[in-house]
Structure 1
C-alpha cells in the first residue's frame, strides 16, 4: 500500500478529476482541491466501488485568491508529509491579440501562471524541510508552440514552462523533483470558459472573422482524433510513482513529440508555410 500524500489543484473535472481517481487506485492519500466543494461528490462516487473514498480528502481552494491560498496553507500544515504537488488548475481563453483586453490576459495568467506560483510557494517550505518531494506542472503543447487565436492561453503556458525550468534548477539540489506534462489535444472541457472571448473574433464586425472561422473549422474537424484524457491521468500517476524524474518534460498526445521535433529542425519560413496550409491556406 502506498502511503504517500499527493495534492492536486483543479480536481473537479478533466485531467484533475481523472488523476485523483488514478492516484487513489494506486494507494495515494489524495488531497483534492477545487473552487467549489460541491464537485467532490462526483469524485467520491467514482471511487466508491473499490473502497477508495477513504483515501480522498478535500480542500476548498481558489488559486487566484490570496485568502484562499492562506487558508490552504493553514490546512496543509497539519499533514504529516507532502510528497507530491500537481498543479493542474487552469482554463483557456481564445481570441485574436488585438481583440483581447489586457485585463483578460491578466485573468488568464492569474490562474494558469500566478496561481501555480502561489500554490507552489505554499507547499515548498514543507518539501524543503523534508528534503524530498515532487512537483508536476500541467503545461500543454501550447507551452512550446504558438497558435493563432489562442494567445492568452499560449502566453500563460509559455510563461509556465520557463518558470518551471527555473524551479527545477533551484530545488533539485535539495531533493525535490520537478516535471512538466505537455498534453496535445484531448477530450476535456478546458475551453468552456474561454469561448465567450473568442466569440468576438467570429463576429462579422471583426477584421479577423474569416480567419477565426477557418481556425475553428480546422479544430472542429480534428476533434475526432483528440486523445482520451485518462491517458494523461495515467502518465501523471506514473510520474508520481517513479522514485526520480530523470526527464523534465513529458509530452503526450497525437503527433506532439513529432511537432516539437520538427519545429526545432525546420527553418521558420518552411514551418510557417506548412502551418498556414493546414489552416486553410490563409495568406501569410
Structure 2
C-alpha cells in the first residue's frame, strides 16, 4: 500500500520538487497551496490551505483522510523569507513571518497528530533551515523563526514517540528556488544608518539563492528519510560549507565564529 503524504507549500520550489519525486516513486501525494486553482501544471492533487488559517489546515487534513483513509507523512514545507535590519523591520511583518514559519507548522502538526495516533504510526518532517542554527545578520527574524521550529520539533518528537509517531527536522541551505521573489524585504531607507550595508547584503543573499543547490537534492533526502526505519532528530541538506558552518559554531569560541560570519558577509 502506497504511503499517503501531505506537503504544505507544494505548488512551487522545494515542496513541488519533493511532491513530484515522491509521486514518481509511487506515493499518494497531496500538496497544498493558498490558491490551488491558479496552478495548472501540478501532477498531484493540490488542496487549498493557508498555514495562517487554522480552518483551512483542518479542512485539508480532513480531505486527505476522507480521500485516502489515512495520513502517513506530513511535510511542513510552507514558509517565507524575510530580510532587513531588525530595527527597521515592521513588527507586523515579524509577526507574519512567525505565523507562517512557526505557528503554521504547529497547527498542521496538531491537525494531523490525532489521525496518526489512531493509526499508531506516522512521520512528520519539518523543513527548517541551516539559517536556523545561527543568528545571521539582516536575516535575524528568519533565523529565529526557523530556529524556534527546530526546538519545538526536538521536544515534540519525545512527547509523541510513545504513540509510534516520528518527527524530524530537515534543514536546507541555499537552493535555487523562487523564495527570494516571495521574501519580505524591509525597504532600503535613504539616509538610514543601514542603507549601504543592507543594500549590498540584499544583492549577496539573492546571489546565494540563484547559485544554490538543485531542489531535487532535497527531494532525494526526504525520500530517504521516509524509507528509513527510524528518523534521526536532525538532517542538513546543502553545500558542504553551509553544513560545516554548523559544526564550526559548536566548536569555535562565540566571538571567533561571529568574526567568521562578519568576514563572510563583508561586515
Q: TM-score, normalised by structure 2?
A: 0.93
Measure, in 1, the Cα distance between the counterparts of 2:22 and 2:183: 29
Measure, in 1, the Cα distance between the counterparts of 2:207 and 2:53: 38
Please tell me whether Structure 1 or Structure 2 has the larger radius of gyration of its CA atoms: 1
* Structure 2 unaligned blocks of 5 or more: none
Measure, in 2, the Cα distance between the counterparts of 1:128 and 1:215: 45
Report the secondary structure of 1:191's partner residue: helix
Residue 50 of structure 2 corresponds to 62
Shift of the 63–222 alpha-carbon distance from structure 1 to 2, 3 Å rule, reads: closer
* Number of aligned residue pairs: 265
1:121 to 106, 110, 132: 110
Could you list the per-position Cα deviations for residues 20-55 of structure 1 after superposition, in whole angstroms to 9, with x for gaps in the alignment?
1000111100111111112442222xxxxxxxxxxx
Post-superposition shift, 1:180? 0.7
Measure, in 2, the Cα distance between the counterparts of 1:177 and 1:121: 14
1:215 to 181, 189, 201: 201
1:235 to 213, 221, 225: 221
1:253 to 234, 238, 251: 238
Post-superposition shift, 1:208? 0.6
Task: State whether residues 95 and 149 of structure 1, in contact with CA within 8 Å, keep that contact through their aligned partners in structure 2.
Answer: yes
Residue 21 of structure 1 corresponds to 20
Measure, in 2, the Cα distance between the counterparts of 1:207 and 1:67: 43
Measure, in 2, the Cα distance between the counterparts of 1:137 and 1:189: 19
1:1-284 alignment, distance < 5 Å = 3-44=2-43, 56-78=44-66, 79-195=68-184, 197-198=185-186, 200=187, 202-220=188-206, 222=208, 225-245=211-231, 247-254=232-239, 255-280=241-266, 282=267
* Structure 1 unaligned blocks of 5 or more: 45-55
Report the secondary structure of 2:114's partner residue: helix
Output the aligned Cα RMSD.
1.7
Post-superposition shift, 1:193? 2.5
Could you list the per-position Cα deviations for residues 97-143 of structure 1 after superposition, in whole angstroms to 9, with x for gaps in the alignment?
11112211110011111110111111100001111110000000111
Could you list the per-position Cα deviations for residues 146-192 of structure 1 after superposition, in whole angstroms to 9, with x for gaps in the alignment?
11111221111011111111111111121111111111111011122
Task: State whether residues 171 and 235 of structure 2, in contact with CA within 8 Å, keep that contact through their aligned partners in structure 1.
Answer: yes
Shift of the 222–111 alpha-carbon distance from structure 1 to 2, 3 Å rule, reads: closer
